[in-house]
Amino acid sequence: MNSALPCTFVKSSGLLTITNPVSSNRAGVDLKFTVNNFLNPYSAKPRTGYYVYTTDKDDGQIDSTRNHITITLTGVTQPADFKSVDITRNDDRRLVGMTSSAILSFNLGLPMDAGCKLVIKFP
C-alpha cells in the first residue's frame, strides 16, 4: 500500500475516491488506511450507511459491501455544544409563582433531521 494516497472527496455525496491504493496485486490481503479530518456523525447513535467498493480503471465494480456487509461507526459518545443559547422574557409578569412567557433561542452547531427531538429541562 502506498504511504500517501491520492484521493478526492465530494462533500455533497459523501464520496471519498482513492486512486491507486495499492502498487501491485493485493488479493486476499487486508488494506488499512487512516482518513484524517473525518467529520464525526452529528449524533452519538451508531451510524450505518457506509458503503465500500473497488473498481477497475474503467470504473467497473469489482468488490462491494452494499448487499453483504453492514458497516457501522461507533464510539462517538459526546454531544456537540450549541453555538449559542439565550432565554429572554416575553411579557411583563414579574410576580413570583405566576405563569409567564419566555423566548428560547438556539443556534444549532449541527443539523437536525426530521423526527429529531429538542428537549428542554426547566429548573
Torsion of the alpha carbons at 72, 34, 36 and 71, rounded to the nearest 10: -10
In this prediction, residue 59 has a pLDDT band, given cuts at 50, 70 and 90, of confident
Asked whether 55 and 61 are in contact (CB, 8 A), the reply is yes
Residue with cell 470504473: 59
Task: Name the pTM for this structure.
Answer: 0.54
Please give the full DSSP string across 63-100, using - where no structure is assigned. Answer: EE-TTT--EEE----SPPPPSEEEEEE-S---STT---
- Any idea which of 18-22, 38-42, 60-64 has the lowest mean pLDDT? 38-42
Does residue 24 carry a pLDDT above 60? yes
- In the three-class reduction of DSSP (H, G, I as helix; E, B as strand; rest coil), residue 22 is classed as coil
